[in-house]
């Protein structure tokens, strides 16, 4: 029995066990000290589906879709499927009125299988293969974002009917943002963007309807979007001046920052909405350009906080010098962002309330690799033991979508929870699945 069991009133004046900024909207701690999401104890989900397992709060996802629609009533909100795309997620976002971004023929197939209207699908990708473009043309996607001269040539030569396209322009902003790749469209200076626009406009089967940009990821300063809007509207005004064409759409991308550990800065969508509105009014007045329709592409901001990854503790090692390592049954194959981006995460014991004071520990994965530390210097109760269930919040985005089968260990399942029920969206990948690809003997 702990002091909290004897004097439960102390809970009201103690530091909260879970930071509400990091956990799904339906998170709760029950009378047994277990953490629940969607009305289900996470430890019960771990017992039923095994570990590691990705848990996704459907209500949280839908709530964030609705919030964006309410804050940007005149804009198009396109969910960035690269964050997490399953048939269920595609269906949820479509039902909540969002359009959808896809980055490959595979993602497009998932979206179409969920019944998403292809006219509300945008094809992205800094390197689109001929198979990607062929699939998009066959499906009749609403827009294709052109990112290279080669794509202009490939599309112009292969489109059987007129295709709406957006030209990706790099507004070349200074300042910190997590970059998502080395290629970000045509720079507006030195005539590169103007030349690309001219080539598209010269093709009878390509219909240039607007510009698109991407400013990076995990952006927390709305002023970056305001600056980008001014530069992009200026580029649209240049197209009008040179070619007499008025572009009607401005896609300002996504990259909206969210918190992954307590105290992290994040981007408030309400503040962003005010900044976008003011910047659009100012830019259109300054450049004397008619107001275009804005598209935003949140991905991580929609599903990131809705996701929690569960692990089973395999062992606890106390190293001379005071370091404690808690080893779990997952790691870099289901959470590669720690190694790739030096991502930081919180960790919580969720199958019970710890009976011992907290200590600083390192949570390590099952592989002998430098990048296989899920979290360093995180507080956990000192009585954590094998068999306990740990949860890592804010793992709904870029975890399942970037997972691998390293060491021939199958990728985890994705389980949706809502109103006291759980259902698999993606089943666990098995050794039999991996062996089906073996054709060498």
pLDDT of 119 strictly over 60: yes
pLDDT of residue 194: 85
284 counts as catalytic = no
Whole-model pTM: value is 0.93
Distance CA 198, CA 239 (A): 8
Q: Residue 74 has what DSSP assignment?
A: T
Cα separation of the two ends of the chain: 59
Domain range annotation of the chain: 3-57+306-435, 72-303
Per residue in 173-203, pLDDT tens?
A: 765 455 555 556 787 666 678 889 999 999 9
Distance of alpha carbon 120 from alpha carbon 223, whole angstroms? 28
Bridge-based pairing of strands 53-57 and 307-319 is antiparallel
How far, in Å, are 67, 185, 430 from residue 77 at the CA level?
11, 21, 36
Highest mean pLDDT among 6-10, 127-131, 175-179: 127-131
> 156-179, pLDDT tens digit by residue?
998 889 999 999 999 877 654 555
Containing H/E element for 149? Answer: helix 149-158
Residue 322 binned pLDDT confidence (cut-offs 50, 70, 90)? confident
Which are the contacts of 73, defined by CB distance < 8 A and separation ≥ 6? none
Q: How far apart are CA 29 and CA 44, in angstroms?
A: 13
Task: Give the chain's radius of gyration (CA, Å).
Answer: 24
Distance, CA of 237 to chain centre: 32
Phi, psi at residue 211, to the nearest 5°? -115, 155
DSSP code, position 436: T
Catalytic residue among 159, 266, 284, 368: 368
* CB-based contacts of 174, cutoff 8 Å, min separation 6: none
Specify the CATH class of 72-303 in words.
alpha beta
pLDDT in tens, 338-378: 888 888 999 999 999 999 999 999 999 998 777 788 999 99
Decide if 74 contacts 97 (C-beta within 8 A): no
Q: Is the pLDDT score of 330 beyond 50?
A: yes
Tell me the CA distances in angstroms from 344 to 259, 325, 395, one per residue in order.
Answer: 10, 16, 11
Positions of E strands within 182-301:
206-212, 249-251, 293-296
pLDDT number for residue 193: 83
State the architecture of 3-57+306-435 in CATH terms.
Beta Barrel (2.40)
């Amino acid at each position: 029995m702990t002091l909290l069991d004897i004097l439960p009133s102390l809970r009201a004046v103690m530091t909260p066990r879970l930071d509400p900024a990091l956990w799904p909207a339906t998170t709760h701690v029950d009378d047994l000290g277990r953490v629940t999401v969607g009305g289900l104890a996470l430890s019960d989900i771990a017992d039923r589906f095994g570990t590691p397992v990705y848990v996704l709060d459907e209500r949280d996802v839908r709530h964030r879709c609705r919030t964006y629609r309410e804050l940007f009533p005149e804009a198009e909100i396109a969910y960035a499927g690269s964050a997490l795309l399953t048939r269920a997620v595609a269906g949820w976002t479509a039902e909540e009125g969002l359009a959808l971004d896809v980055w490959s023929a595979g993602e497009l197939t998932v979206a179409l299988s969920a019944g998403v209207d292809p006219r509300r699908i945008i094809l992205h990708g800094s390197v689109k293969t001929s198979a990607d473009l062929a699939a998009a043309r066959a499906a009749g996607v609403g827009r294709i974002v052109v990112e290279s001269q080669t794509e202009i040539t490939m599309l112009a030569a292969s489109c059987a009917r007129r295709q709406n396209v957006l030209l990706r322009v790099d507004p070349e902003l200074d300042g910190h943002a997590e970059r998502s790749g080395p290629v970000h469209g045509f720079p507006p200076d030195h005539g590169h963007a103007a030349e690309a626009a001219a080539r598209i406009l010269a093709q009878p089967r390509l219909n240039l309807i607007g510009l698109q940009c991407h400013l990076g990821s995990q952006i927390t300063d709305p002023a970056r979007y305001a600056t980008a809007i001014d530069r992009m509207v200026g580029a649209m005004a240049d197209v009008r001046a040179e070619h007499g064409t008025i572009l009607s759409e401005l896609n300002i991308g996504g990259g909206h920052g969210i918190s992954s550990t307590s105290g992290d800065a994040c981007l408030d969508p309400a503040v962003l909405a005010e900044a976008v509105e003011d910047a659009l009014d100012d830019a259109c007045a300054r450049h004397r350009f008619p107001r275009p329709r804005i598209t935003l592409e949140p991905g991580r901001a929609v599903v990131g906080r809705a996701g929690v990854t569960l692990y089973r503790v395999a062992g606890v090692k106390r190293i001379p010098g005071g370091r404690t390592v808690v080893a779990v049954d997952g790691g870099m194959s289901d959470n590669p962002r720690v190694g790739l981006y030096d991502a930081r995460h919180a960790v919580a014991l969720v199958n019970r309330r710890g009976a011992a004071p907290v200590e600083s520990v390192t949570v390590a994965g099952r592989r002998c690799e430098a990048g296989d530390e899920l979290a360093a210097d995180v507080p956990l109760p000192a009585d954590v033991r094998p068999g306990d269930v740990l949860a890592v919040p804010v793992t709904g985005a870029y975890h399942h979508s970037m997972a691998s089968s390293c060491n021939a260990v199958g990728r985890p399942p994705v389980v949706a929870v809502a109103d006291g029920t759980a259902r698999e969206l993606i089943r666990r990948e098995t050794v039999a699945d991996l062996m089906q690809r073996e054709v060498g003997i």
